[in-house]
Copies of this chain bind each other. A is one copy, B any other.
């Protein structure tokens, strides 16, 4: 899998190896003055911040294995290729919603990007109780624009099929999602772990046949419903923010899949942020306002998504599906609206299912959330996690009947007061 001549960067080797790139010299200044810090805190890659007289850039390089686990879990470098291809498509579909891409080196698996400052990872901000103005609108729009514009609703059919084929090559990262999200949480898989106090509820969930059936229906939807190019890993650790801005990063899990996957995973991470807040309070109730804000973001994400998707439907529906030729041009604009409502209804149902499963896998599987992990007292952590597990189950099994985003946030408020251990 490793490309010929690939060598991992180090802070020491980076200036020599990339100093010749005009785009870096322009952005950072002469390489003699570069300072390089390795800042990767994710699970997979090397990330360097390169600073110089003229400014800063980020250099992200894939490693031929999973950084979190080590060389025993090889992972191909070409994920960098998929990340680059996803970034340039997202840039075209929702300009400015991600860091600008400055350079790509396929054989070295390197993407050079704009350095975002003073941005921090959204998840950290949420744990600290910080707010981001306009966050729900920004993320709802990002979902609507990237999901609509990567689909047969918008793209020329041949181009969409070529992209489908391209991203079908992202096998190993899809394999991670397929196993870690959709299967491992529901049995005692070797890489799983969970907070000890959860043994009872975990055993109940893993004995819940309907839940296990629902999980696999969602897996089939993920692997077979190639509706659009997904970000594929759209959680609050894949978003960088200031107090007033948000950017989406790290689309290396990009693949064609169901529209509800990105939206569901995103909302799940806000619901988990909400349910984890009691674990971060210093005085009882001092996180109540923050919790309200988190749920207002959930509502705004969904409502903005619906509004923006509808706008795009009415103004940019130029693909092979639901063509104006068949509807508006025949005086049947109402059919287009009827179809839009149906489609949004299906995306809603998918969103709830994927939302629920994301809440499970972050507590039962390999990759946990700092929202819960940073709760020092294991008993307190277990209480919060148990609520998220109960809510995840209710979303997965209630996906066909839960009527709107207000019902979801009301459920989150109720769960927050209940004991589900």
Contact = CB atoms under 8 A, between A and B. Distances in A.
A339 interface: yes
B174 A206 contact: no
Nearest to A259: B224
A209 B334 contact: yes
Interface string A145-161: 00000011000011001
A180 to B, nearest CB: 12
A120 B227 CA distance: 40
Given A157-B171, A335-B212, A338-B213, A187 B220 contact: no
Interface string A330-351: 1010110011001100000000
Interface stretch (A11-19, A272-280, A281-289, A318-326): A318-326
A187 B325 contact: yes
B175 A213 contact: no
A157 B223 contact: yes
Q: Majority SS of interface residues in chain A?
A: helix
A175 B319 CA distance: 12
A169 B320 CA distance: 17
Nearest to A159: B171
A320 B184 CA distance: 12
A326 B169 contact: no
A149 to B, nearest CB: 15
A229 to B, nearest CB: 12
Contact of A213 (B165, B320, B335): B335
Contacts of A10: none
A301 to B, nearest CB: 23
Interface of A: 151-152, 157-158, 161-162, 164-166, 168-169, 171, 174-175, 178-179, 183, 186-187, 206-207, 209-210, 212-213, 216-217, 219-220, 223-227, 320-323, 325-327, 329-330, 332, 334-335, 338-339, 342-343
5 contacts: A152-B224, A168-B168, A212-B326, A212-B335, A219-B320
